[in-house]
Amino acid sequence: MSIKTAQTLVSEAMQEIKTISAEEAYKIFEENNCNLIDIRDTNELEITGAIENSINIPRGLLEFQLDPNGTLTQNGIIDPNKETVLFCAAGGRSALATKALQEMGYKKVCHIAGGFSALQNSKFKVKK
């Protein structure tokens, strides 16, 4: 049995998921057509700041928080009819997370190429 590397898992996920640019993400965000979800850990946000009006759900909790019976969906914080746009620091974790949400049945889900690094150099506002 051979164990796959994390890079192999990310490469495989990239073949099956939708990737968008920071600019594309900004366009659908401005049109209020997406759930913008930052899957970085809380300590990463404390160091680098967060994208204004994004929702932080750490990667380890994502499937539980985006469960259709979960409080975020039930309380209307997450709208499953909108595009769910994920990002992490650079794009690896969000690629794997996008694949996991597809496996849960999410149809409108993608991630941002370059992650938070790309968002910092776009029209998105970073709050400290």
Residue 10 inside a domain? The answer is no
* CA dihedral over 119, 120, 121, 124, signed as positive or negative: positive
What's the mean pLDDT in 87-114? 97
Residue 6 inside a domain? The answer is no
pLDDT category at 126 given cuts 50, 70, 90 is very high
pTM of the model: 0.94
Look up the domain containing 83 and give its range.
16-127
Paired residues of 84 in beta bridges: 35, 109
Domain containing residue 34: CATH number: 3.40.250.10
Residue 7 inside a domain? The answer is no
Q: How does pLDDT run across 19-40, given as a tens digit for each residue?
A: 999 999 999 999 999 999 999 9
pLDDT category at 128 given cuts 50, 70, 90 is confident
Residue 111 inside a domain? The answer is yes
| Mean of the per-residue pLDDT values of the chain | 95
